[in-house]
Amino acid sequence: MADTPAPVFQIQRIYLKESSLEQPNSPAILLELEQPNVDIQLGINANPVTEGIFEVTVTGTIQAKVKEKTVFLVEVKQAGIFEIRNMTDEQMGPIMGIACPQIVYPYLRGNVADLIQRAGFPPVHLAEINFQAMYEQQVAQQAQQSVAGGDTQPTTLN
């Protein structure tokens, strides 16, 4: 019976990779009485750093507008470095798409709320995210696209 190395999953570091805040229409927009519309976009990116070491980045873009004018635009990239070894390909997808983002996301939420509050606005508290549902939806979309891509190929040859 061969010795199989034990799986390894460790957080090496969580850090704020990038952040920016813009208020392009200040100070006039600050006098508007209308409530702004807030649009929130999130993304996940995973990249290998070295053998068994991966960086997972959760990106948040939060834009508040009154009519067509931007009140503020916040872009934040929160990242984590993870040691992940001795995992199968089937295990790696959920780890990169679910487990790592779940660890990084609370830090992104805190940094976004703090940055917006320091800019003089009430903090925007990002909702909890079900990364498992998001990952499963992404896998289903990829499977559907590969099936649709297969349908475009000819099924008969002349």
- Is 152 inside a domain boundary? no
Residue 13, strand partner residues: 81
pLDDT at 2: 61
- Is 49 inside a domain boundary? yes
Range of the domain at 49: 8-144
- Is 156 inside a domain boundary? no
Average pLDDT, the chain: 90
Which CATH number does the domain housing residue 125 bear?
3.10.420.10
Please calculate the CA angle 114-56-78 and round it to the nearest 5 degrees: 10
- Rounded mean pLDDT of 45-66? 96
Considering only the C-alpha atoms of the chain, give the largest distance between any 2 of them, rounded to a whole number of Å: 73
Is 124's pLDDT higher than 60? Answer: yes
User: 15-42: per-residue pLDDT in tens?
Assistant: 999 999 999 999 998 888 888 999 999 9
pLDDT-derived band of residue 146, with 50, 70 and 90 as boundaries? confident
- Is 155 inside a domain boundary? no
Predicted structure pTM score: 0.84
pLDDT at 55: 98
pLDDT at 30: 85
- Is 70 inside a domain boundary? yes
User: 80-114: per-residue pLDDT in tens?
Assistant: 999 999 999 899 999 999 999 999 999 999 999 99
- Is 119 inside a domain boundary? yes
- Is 88 inside a domain boundary? yes
pLDDT-derived band of residue 150, with 50, 70 and 90 as boundaries? low
pLDDT at 157: 38
- Is 58 inside a domain boundary? yes
Please calculate the CA angle 60-52-99 and round it to the nearest 5 degrees: 40
CA separation for the pair 127, 130 (Å, rounded) = 10
Q: Please state the domain count of the chain.
A: 1
